[in-house]
Structure 1
């Protein structure tokens, strides 16, 4: 079964726009100009489907820069609350079993 991907959604730029642009550049590798354009389009997806750990780190970088970001499951489009424990206790809205959806269950500790 294919692993679900997660993407980072930039919801708003916040007050520290230059810091947010730098964070977008770090995450995406875009130029300063294109990073600024992406910031101005908020709400917008900053990343494509990635592992939960990578999107969690990207969202943390954006939030540390003063922007507002959320992590969204690619399988069921639910917003993921970052942190320990169940990520979202609601059942998966996709065609996959709830125990396979990482929006419902945290990744196995390895």
Structure 2
């Protein structure tokens, strides 16, 4: 049963994109395993889970990969609806938040 909700974050300690996802998981109280990747010598799991871009972050939930930090944040908010929400409920405010997150 625990394997059904397993969350693994593949990342790099110095990546602000990875830190963004790591912080979101911690804010939501989601237990996760962290796997440090060597982006110079890409490991088989990184290549398996993100064969197109071959970069971090990659969130693996129930064996299914999600990549791109903003997409991962939206997934986290939709999958775990507990408070606090990462994105506002109001569509206009949510769009503005997405804009500023992308801009920064």
| TM-score interval (norm. to shorter) | under 0.3
* TM-score with structure 2 setting the length: 0.27
More helix by share: 2
